[in-house]
A and B are shown apart, each in its own frame.
Chain A
Amino acid sequence: MARLRLPVLLVLVAFVTVTPFVVMVLVAFAPPGGRTLPGAFDVTRATLRNFTDVLESADITQWALNSLIYSLVSVLLILLFASMAGYAFAKKRFPGREVLFWAFLATLMVPFQATLIPYYILVSEMGGVDTYWGLIVPTLANSQAVFLMRQFIVQLPDELFEAAKIDGASEWRVFTTVVLPLIRPVLATLGVFVFLWHWNDFLWPLVIGQSEGMRTLTVGLATLEGENVTINQIMAGATITVIPCLLVFGLLQRYLTDSIATSGLKS
C-alpha cells in the first residue's frame, strides 16, 4: 500500500513545484488584458504580443546583453585565474602558500552584504560605476572557484607535469597543454555554476549599474514591476529571464545534481 501512496505524493509535490513556472508561461502567452487566469486560459488565443510589447517598451534586449556579458566574461576569467591559482596552490611550493590559501578561504566567512559599502566606494572611486569592468572585475575574486580547482588538481599525479617539463615545455605550456585539458570536467562544472550565479545575481548589479542601460536582466525584471507594464508583459520578461537557466539545467541536469548529490557527505 505504501508503494502506491509514495508516487502519488511525489506527483503532488512535483505539481506544486512546477505550477509557478507553468503559470508564468501561461500568463506570458495569454492575450493582454488584466484578468487573465490560468483556468480561463485558452490555447487558441495564445499570443506572442506580450513578448513583442515588453521587448519594445523596455530595454530587455540591452539587459539580456548585459547579463550575457556579465556572466560569460566572468566565467572565462574566473576559470582562467582560478585554475592558475589552483595549480599553484596544488603543485607549486612558494613562500606563504598555506597562509594565502587560508586567507582566500577565510573570505568565505564574510557575507558579501557586509562588505557591500566599501566595495561600492572602492569601485566608484576607481570610476567603475555604470561600467562593465566595475560590474565584472570585483566579482572575479572567487574563493570557491580557487578552492575547487586546488582540490581537483592536487589529485593529479605529479609525473604528468614533470614529464612535460623534461621534454622542455615552459611552465605556461605545461599549464595550457597538460593541466587545462586534464581539469576539463571541473572547468565545466564550475563554469556552469559561475554562469548561474552571475546570471541570477542581483544586489551587486543593482548597486553598480545605475543607469537603465547598465541593468542586468534580473535587475531589470525587478524594476519592471511598478512601471506601466501589464502582468502579462512582466511574465513574458520573466520567461525570457529564465530561459538560459532552463537551457543550462536541461542540458546538464544530471551533471548539476550529481555534483551536489555525490558530495558523499559523511560516510
Chain B
Amino acid sequence: MSKVEPREAFPDEPEPSERAAARHGRTAGDGAPPAGAPPAPEVAPEAVAAAVVTGDSRGTVTVTGTLAKAPPGGPADIPPGGPGSGPGGRRWSPVRRREALVGLAFVGPMLALFLVFRFGPTLGAAFLSLTDYRLSGEWDFIGAANYTRLLQDDLFWESLGVTAVYTALYVPMTVLLALGTAVLLHRTLWLRGFFRGLFFLPYVTSIVLAAVIWKWIYEVEDGLLNTALGALGLGPVDFLGADSLVLPSIAAASAWKGFGYSMLILLAGLQSIPREVAEAATIDGASAWQRFRWVTLPLLRPVLFFVLVIEAIQAFQVFDAMYVMTAGGPVRASYSLVYFLYDSGFKFFDFGYASAIGLVLFLIVLVFSLIQRRLIGREED
C-alpha cells in the first residue's frame, strides 16, 4: 500500500508530511495546528485520569466509558476514517514512507508485546473455552460443552450469586463513603489537603494488606472489633464465620481500601459545579439538605454514575480479599466467580472450563461498560 507515487512527490517540499497532506485535499485542521495556534486539548482529561488510576497493572475495564469520547473530540489527531485518512487513499512520498517505517519501529516493541500477551490470550480464551485442554497440554474440541456444563453447575450459580450479592453490598458502601467524604471535604477548608491524603491512603496499599489487617480486626477471640464490642458488653460476633455476615464484612474491608479513588473523582465533580447555583438556591431559602438533594445531586449525576459503574466492574472481579480472608468460606458463602475460575484452573486444572468461566466474566463486565457508555452518552446529548 505504501507504494511511492512519483507524480505526487514534490522534490522541493519543505515540510513534506503535513504540507503534502494538505495538498492532497485534507483540511488544514487535519494536520498539525498552525504555528501560534494553541494546541488542541483533544482528550477529555478525565479519561486520562481514569486511565492512569484505575485497576491493576493489566488494566481493568474501567476506562471504557470515558475513553469512548476522547478521540472523536479532537480534530488535531488521529483522523476518523474518511477520504484521505486511510493508507489506501493516500499517496506516499519517500519522506512519508520513511516516517511510516520510523513510526512502526517505535510502536514495534509494544506491538510485539500486545500481539503475544494481549491479543493472543484474548483470542486464546475464546478458543480454549471450546476445548477440554488438560494439564498435559492435550486437548479435544468439545464445542459448547463447557458452557452447557456451566449452566448446570451449582457451583457456578452459587459463585455468581455470591459475586452479585457482594457487588450489591460493596458498591453502595463504597460510593456512599466516597460521596460522604467528598461532600465533607468540599464544604470544609480546614486541613482539606491533609484529610484528602488521609482518606486516599488506603487506596495506595494492596487489597491483600487490607485483607490481612481486617481479618485480624474481625477475629472472634482477640480481634479489635470484638474487643470493642466486649468493652460495650456486647457478645462476640463471628464476622467472617457466619454465612450472613461474611460478605458484608469483606465488602466493608474492601470499601475501606477502595473508596479513596471514587472520593477524588466525586470531589472533582463537586468542585466543577458552579458556586452560583447553590448560592441562588440558598437565596431562595433552600436548606442544606434541599440544596444537596435538588441542586448538587442532579448536577453530580454523570460523575456519580461513572463512579458507580467503575466500582461495580471492580467488584465483579473480586478475588484477593476472599482468598486471604476466608478462602471462600464458610462453606462457600464467599466463593466468588473469579475464585471459582481460579479453582477450576489451578486446583482442578480444568483449563477449558475455567476459560469458559472467564468468558462469562468478560460478558458481564462488557454489559456494565455498555450500559455506562449508553447512559453517559445520553447525558451528553
Residues of A within 8 A of B (CB): 2, 6-7, 9-10, 13-14, 17-21, 23-24, 27, 34-39, 74, 80-82, 84-85, 87-90, 92-98, 100-101, 103-105, 107-122, 125, 137-144, 146-148, 151-152, 154-159, 162, 171, 175, 189-190, 193-194, 196-204, 207, 218-219, 221-222, 225, 231, 234-235, 238, 241-242, 245-246, 248-249, 253-254, 256-257, 259-267
Q: How far is the CA of A120 from the CA of B116 in the complex (A)?
A: 12
Q: Which of B102, B217, B361 has the most CB of A within 10 A?
A: B102
Say yes or no: is B109 at the interface (Cβ < 8 Å to chain A): yes
Within the complex, which residue of A9, A93, A115 is in contact with B99, where a contact is CB–CB below 8 Å?
A: A93
Q: Which of A143, A162, A257 has the most CB of B within 10 A?
A: A257
Say yes or no: is B333 at the interface (Cβ < 8 Å to chain A): no
Contacts A14-B198, A222-B324 known; A122 to B121 CB distance under 8 Å?
yes
A-B contact pairs, 8 of them (CB 8 A): A82-B110, A88-B104, A108-B62, A138-B117, A141-B118, A245-B205, A263-B49, A264-B45
Contacts A115-B125, A122-B117, A201-B56 known; A144 to B213 CB distance under 8 Å?
no
Q: How far is the CA of A236 from the CA of B353 in the complex (A)?
A: 39
Q: Which residue of B lies closest to A78 (CB)?
A: B57
Pairwise interchain contact A17-B17, C-beta atoms closer than 8 A: no
Within the complex, which residue of B43, B61, B104, B346 is in contact with A109, where a contact is CB–CB below 8 Å?
A: B61
Q: How far is the CA of A27 from the CA of B184 in the complex (A)?
A: 31
Contacts A84-B106, A93-B99, A225-B212 known; A199 to B201 CB distance under 8 Å?
no
- Interface size, chain B (Cβ < 8 Å): 138
Pairwise interchain contact A120-B345, C-beta atoms closer than 8 A: yes
Within the complex, which residue of A38, A148, A156, A171 is in contact with B102, where a contact is CB–CB below 8 Å?
A: A171
Q: Which residue of A lies closest to B351 (CB)?
A: A117
Q: How far is the CA of A234 from the CA of B358 in the complex (A)?
A: 33
Shortest CB distance A232–B (Å): 10
Within the complex, which residue of B53, B70, B79, B201 is in contact with A21, where a contact is CB–CB below 8 Å?
A: B201
Pairwise interchain contact B222-A85, C-beta atoms closer than 8 A: no
Residues of B within 8 A of A (CB): 1-2, 15, 17-18, 32-33, 35, 39, 41-43, 45-53, 55-64, 67, 70, 74, 76-79, 81, 85, 87, 96, 99-107, 109-111, 113-114, 116-122, 124-125, 128, 133, 137, 180-181, 184-185, 187-188, 190-191, 193, 195-202, 204-217, 221-222, 224, 227, 231, 256, 261, 264-265, 267-269, 272, 288, 302-303, 306, 313, 317, 319-320, 323-324, 338, 341-342, 345-346, 351, 354-355, 358-359, 361-362, 365-366, 369, 380
Q: How far is the CA of A85 from the CA of B78 in the complex (A)?
A: 14
Pairwise interchain contact B53-A260, C-beta atoms closer than 8 A: yes
Q: How far is the CA of A253 from the CA of B204 in the complex (A)?
A: 10
Pairwise interchain contact A94-B272, C-beta atoms closer than 8 A: no
Contacts A82-B110, A114-B359, A120-B345 known; A88 to B117 CB distance under 8 Å?
no
Q: Which residue of A lies closest to B137 (CB)?
A: A125
Besides A6-B190, A107-B118, A122-B121, 18 more A-B contacts (Cβ < 8 Å) are A20-B217, A21-B202, A21-B213, A27-B216, A34-B222, A81-B110, A88-B107, A98-B79, A100-B107, A103-B114, A109-B61, A118-B125, A141-B114, A198-B57, A200-B208, A202-B320, A218-B206, A218-B209
Contacts A14-B199, A88-B106 known; A143 to B303 CB distance under 8 Å?
no
Within the complex, which residue of B268, B306, B380 is in contact with A261, where a contact is CB–CB below 8 Å?
A: B268
Q: Which residue of A lies closest to B345 (CB)?
A: A117
Q: Is the contact region of chain A dominated by helix, strand, or loop, or is it mixed?
A: helix
Pairwise interchain contact A242-B102, C-beta atoms closer than 8 A: no
Shortest CB distance A185–B (Å): 12
Residues of A near B217 (CB, < 8 A) are 20, 23
Residues of B near A96 (CB, < 8 A) are 87
Within the complex, which residue of B42, B96, B185, B200 is in contact with A93, where a contact is CB–CB below 8 Å?
A: B96
Contacts A107-B119, A158-B32, A204-B58 known; A122 to B53 CB distance under 8 Å?
no
Residues of A near B196 (CB, < 8 A) are 257, 261
Pairwise interchain contact A115-B121, C-beta atoms closer than 8 A: yes
Within the complex, which residue of B35, B56, B77, B105 is in contact with A197, where a contact is CB–CB below 8 Å?
A: B56
Within the complex, which residue of B109, B195, B198 is in contact with A84, where a contact is CB–CB below 8 Å?
A: B109
Contacts A95-B100, A107-B118, A242-B205 known; A118 to B124 CB distance under 8 Å?
yes
Residues of A near B43 (CB, < 8 A) are 151, 154
Q: How far is the CA of A264 from the CA of B59 in the complex (A)?
A: 22
Q: Which of A7, A147, A171, A207 has the most CB of B within 10 A?
A: A147
Q: How far is the CA of A85 from the CA of B42 in the complex (A)?
A: 18
Pairwise interchain contact B361-A263, C-beta atoms closer than 8 A: no
Pairwise interchain contact B42-A266, C-beta atoms closer than 8 A: no
Residues of A near B117 (CB, < 8 A) are 119, 122, 137-138, 140-141
Q: Which residue of B lies closest to A113 (CB)?
A: B338
Pairwise interchain contact A2-B193, C-beta atoms closer than 8 A: no
Within the complex, which residue of A39, A74, A159, A248 is in contact with B57, where a contact is CB–CB below 8 Å?
A: A74
Q: How far is the CA of A207 from the CA of B351 in the complex (A)?
A: 13
Contacts A84-B106, A260-B49 known; A107 to B59 CB distance under 8 Å?
yes
Q: Which residue of B lies closest to A143 (CB)?
A: B59
Contacts A148-B52, A193-B52 known; A114 to B267 CB distance under 8 Å?
no
Contacts A93-B96, A202-B320, A262-B268 known; A151 to B119 CB distance under 8 Å?
no
Contacts A94-B99, A114-B358, A117-B125 known; A157 to B120 CB distance under 8 Å?
no
Within the complex, which residue of B103, B188, B261, B355 is in contact with A10, where a contact is CB–CB below 8 Å?
A: B188
Within the complex, which residue of B18, B195, B202, B268 is in contact with A263, where a contact is CB–CB below 8 Å?
A: B268
Pairwise interchain contact B204-A196, C-beta atoms closer than 8 A: yes
Q: Which residue of B lies closest to A80 (CB)?
A: B109
Pairwise interchain contact B61-A111, C-beta atoms closer than 8 A: yes
Q: How far is the CA of A125 from the CA of B15 in the complex (A)?
A: 49
Residues of B near A142 (CB, < 8 A) are 57-59
Pairwise interchain contact B212-A238, C-beta atoms closer than 8 A: yes
Shortest CB distance A75–B (Å): 10
Q: How far is the CA of A120 from the CA of B105 in the complex (A)?
A: 29
